[in-house]
Amino acid sequence: MSENAPETENEDNKYLAERAESPLVRGLSHGLGALLTLIVITWAIDFWLALGFTWFDEQAMIAGLGLSFAVIFIRYPAKLGTERVSIPWYDYGFALLGICGAIYFIVIFDDIADSPFAMRPKTFVIGLMFVPLVWEGLRRTAGWSLTIVFSVFVAYAFVGHLMPGMLQGVEQKNVELVAFLGTSEIALLGLPLKIIVLTVVLFIWMGQMLLHTGASEWFTDLSAAMMGRSRGGSAKIAVVASSLFGSISGSAVSNVASTGVITIPLMRRAGYNAKTAAAIEAVASTGGQIMPPIMGAAAFLMAEILEMAYTEVILAALIPAFLYYLAVFVQADLEAAKNGITALPKDRIPPMWRVLKEGWFFVVPYVVLVYTLFWMNMAPQAAAFWAGISVGLVSLIFGYKKSRISLKQIVGTFSGCGRMSVDIIIIGAMAGVIIGILDKTGLGQALTLILASVGENNLWLLLILTAGISILLGMGMPTSAIYLLLATMIAPSLVKLGVNPIGAHMFVLYFGLMSMITPPVAIAAFAAASLAGANPMATGMTAVRLGWIAYIIPFVFVLSPSLLLQGDLAHILSALIMAVLGVWIASCGFIGYLYRPINTVFRLLFVAAGFALLIPGEAFGYAINVVGVVAAVVLIGREFMARRDSGAAHPV
């Protein structure tokens, strides 16, 4: 199978759906997708409010979800991996059920908000429609693996009261539970769906505008001019762009949606496979949330809660963020070397002056985005709208290579955005239902109590449990919401056992954010997978491998506050040097390449040597760092000599 071919059943389903679309399927899905985008855009700019309609955000979310159901059941066949030759009667029925159910829900939403108990029979019917539609929509777009995870949580909601011990859930009345899961603002209509429908879709539309005006081609030329002479240059550009934008976006998913539409195609053209390109984008975008000076707004919250100066928080975050991106850079470079993704030929590297002259105005939308976000304090969705409008304006005024955006292309941005958004909208609905189950059954609180009781006298056990709970509780939420939840529920337990307060808060922030790339609800990885046409679960697992440092470094800075710039200069410098070496050596092991491919045994040795360098000497004794240094020198020497001998045996 070629590298670009579909790799799994759900990816195959998408590939065949795109390839075999009939005019009817294409027309209906494009029209419904355009309508979805228009609803979201008009909502973002308060168009309906200006006309006198006082609707709720939830009603726009319901409209987006209903249209997503319709697009999915029209485009994707029930049997995964088969072509959509025609639309069977039952898929027409599912599509109509999604749209009509959404219209009904929108119409009675005011009554539900005013009298939820009296409306229970009607909300039960809506839940009975929507939860199964989410299940089936998820199966068709994301495949079985994620659907099985969703099924387990839903099953727990009904039988969790039969579980033993502390995992025993609160018994639910079936009618009340179904109504809650399908209509509550804590469940289906919760934060994940709200972020995706009301914010992420706008960034996807902005990306479509950039795509249709030639910006992706300009970014390709720019990356070639800047990094074309180095291997893996496209991935390195993705890492830089995503880290910079992610720092200000406040949402890893929004970052993926805005930068991924450009960087993922760049990496695919360069030779990275779909899941690796998507994973690099997801990891880089997620890391933007820990990148000073803004850290997705978490820096301001942390300073307030800890009663520290804002500058102290930023300084503490510097080294961990640097190590995170160092690991991503090194792995992107080694992945390129391993797969033969070389530098561009000289005749394909354009002069920098020419690239800037042809498309300098594509920087304007990003200036507009930053200006509207920070100087005008606009909501992210409104900022994305005006940035998207600016894309069209600069294209009409300047044109890229004498080509200006046409009316047909503008219409294409609406339909393309809607069709691209439905996969991630369904995942957002799924995440909301899971969060609702955690809340309704008491499973979330039970997990917290288990954490506190089991780890009460064992710091290592407490840290491991805290990491797992933070990933689970953080899924699908924006950075500020993740941090606020974990800072109030989890961090105090760590501080109580003697962990440095800023270390404890950084620890939960890191692992809360890792929910964005950690299956089963790796929402940033799944968003990137949707853009790349890759398998969501495979992308999530690749993102975990590429982002491995984020699962290790929080343990290191809890045990070694030097990495948070706590302590004297000598300890800080020694910890930094050891950590940098550890990141490089371990990354070689994870990728399986240094000067040449590394076999499994030596990959494990590289990882072990890297971890020995990362383990803080001040906590466990510097002998372990010495062992790591010696092992690293021996391993690097072995690979160097082997490469040299191979070169001597096979002279060019």
DSSP state of 474: T
Asked if residue 156 has pLDDT above 80, the reply is yes
The pLDDT tens digits for 455-480 are 666 778 888 888 887 787 666 555 66
Counted residue by residue, the chain has a size of 652
Strand-pair partners of 593 = 597
pLDDT value, residue 516: 87
pLDDT value, residue 63: 93
Per-residue tokens: 289: 């949330």
Asked if residue 6 has pLDDT above 50, the reply is no
Per-residue tokens: 226: 């800047």
- CA-to-CA distance for 478 and 471, rounded, in angstroms? 13
What does residue 593 show for φ and ψ, rounded to 5 degrees?
Answer: -155, 140
> Could you tell me the pLDDT band of residue 105, with boundaries at 50, 70 and 90?
very high
Lowest mean pLDDT among 31-45, 150-164, 472-486, 614-628: 472-486
> Could you tell me the pLDDT band of residue 648, with boundaries at 50, 70 and 90?
very low
pLDDT value, residue 398: 86
- CA-to-CA distance for 619 and 563, rounded, in angstroms? 13
> Could you tell me the pLDDT band of residue 651, with boundaries at 50, 70 and 90?
very low
Per-residue tokens: 250: 């406040």
The full DSSP string for 255-317 is: HHHHHHHHHHHHHHHHT--HHHHHHHHHHHHHHGGG-TTTGGGHHHHHHHHHT--HHHHHHHH
Three-state secondary structure call for residue 403: strand
pLDDT value, residue 649: 44
Asked if residue 306 has pLDDT above 60, the reply is yes
> Could you tell me the pLDDT band of residue 608, with boundaries at 50, 70 and 90?
very high
The pLDDT tens digits for 511-570 are 888 888 888 778 888 889 988 888 888 999 999 988 888 898 899 888 878 888 887 788
Residue 276 near residue 550, CB atoms below 8 Å: no
Strand-pair partners of 163 = none
pLDDT value, residue 481: 61
pTM here is 0.68
- CA-to-CA distance for 591 and 575, rounded, in angstroms? 24
Strand-pair partners of 400 = 403
Q: Of 235, 246, 242, 241, nearest to 276 (Cα)?
A: 235
pLDDT value, residue 480: 61
DSSP state of 476: T
Residue 106 near residue 59, CB atoms below 8 Å: yes
pLDDT value, residue 20: 56
Average pLDDT over residues 489-503: 78
Asked if residue 410 has pLDDT above 80, the reply is yes
Asked if residue 10 has pLDDT above 50, the reply is no
pLDDT value, residue 345: 60
pLDDT value, residue 269: 78
> Could you tell me the pLDDT band of residue 238, with boundaries at 50, 70 and 90?
confident
> Could you tell me the pLDDT band of residue 152, with boundaries at 50, 70 and 90?
confident
The pLDDT tens digits for 22-37 are 788 888 888 999 999 9
- % of the chain exceeding 90 in pLDDT: 16
> Could you tell me the pLDDT band of residue 99, with boundaries at 50, 70 and 90?
very high
The pLDDT tens digits for 263-272 are 788 788 778 8
Angle at alpha carbon of residue 469, lines to 465 and 472, rounded to 5°: 145
Torsion of CA 222, 228, 230, 234, to 10 degrees: 60
pLDDT value, residue 457: 66
Chain centroid offset of residue 133 CA: 24
Higher pLDDT, 581 or 211: 581
Average pLDDT over residues 167-189: 88
Three-state secondary structure call for residue 345: coil
pLDDT value, residue 297: 57
> Could you tell me the pLDDT band of residue 451, with boundaries at 50, 70 and 90?
low
